[in-house]
Structure 1
């Protein structure tokens, strides 16, 4: 996904992060200048749904304008996972066991 806050704000005549920050505060979302800068100029690693709701209300947009889906960037994992080749010294395979008798996690 691509974060699109700056363009969504610009489409509504909001050109400065501080202006949007003030508008968000008027709607109950007070955030630090550092957090606002991160939302404005970067791609946040996470965002609270409540915060996203306030941003959408202030901008008058839906989440689809702020979060742009990029399906071509999704990597497909093959259905079959290759198992590493066992190192064999000619003897039988060894299965490790825990000392406390509990089973090992599935690999």
Structure 2
């Protein structure tokens, strides 16, 4: 996901974390300045839905304005193929390998 908090804030003429904290305070959202700076400076690992709702209210935007989906690169530099949930793209369960001797007894 791409985090677009700075872009959404810039549309409201907010350019610093301190100004963003003041906008948050107007809607009753009072995070610490360090938390606001962390949201401002990079993509957060987690954001509570309640906090996300208050951020959107403070900036007059939607969640889609704050977060943008990006394609995920698969191993080997190839892009992962997208499919619908429940779509047939391969086996659902792992398939056992049959390329070597099978262990018949557990190790000692």
Does the alignment reach a TM-score above 0.5?
Answer: yes
Partner residue in 2 for 1:16: 16
Report if aligned partners of 2:23, 2:59 keep a CA contact under 8 Å in 1: no
Give the 3 Å change call, closer, same or farther, for CA 24–92 of structure 1 in structure 2.
Answer: closer
Report if aligned partners of 2:26, 2:58 keep a CA contact under 8 Å in 1: no
What count of residue pairs does the alignment treat as equivalent?
93
Secondary structure of 2:40's partner?
helix
Cα displacement (A) at 1:87: 6.4
Structure 1 CA distance for aligned equivalents of residues 103 and 16 of structure 2: 68
Alignment of 1:1-107 (within 5 A): 1-70=1-70, 72-73=71-72, 75=74, 76=80, 79-80=90-91, 81=94, 83=96, 88=101, 93-94=104-105
Structure 2 CA distance for aligned equivalents of residues 43 and 16 of structure 1: 16
Cα displacement (A) at 1:12: 1.4
Ranges in structure 1 where 5+ consecutive residues have no aligned partner: 97-107
Secondary structure of 1:73's partner?
coil
TM-score by length of 1: 0.71
Q: Deviations over 1:25-49 (max 9, x none)?
A: 2211111121111100110001011
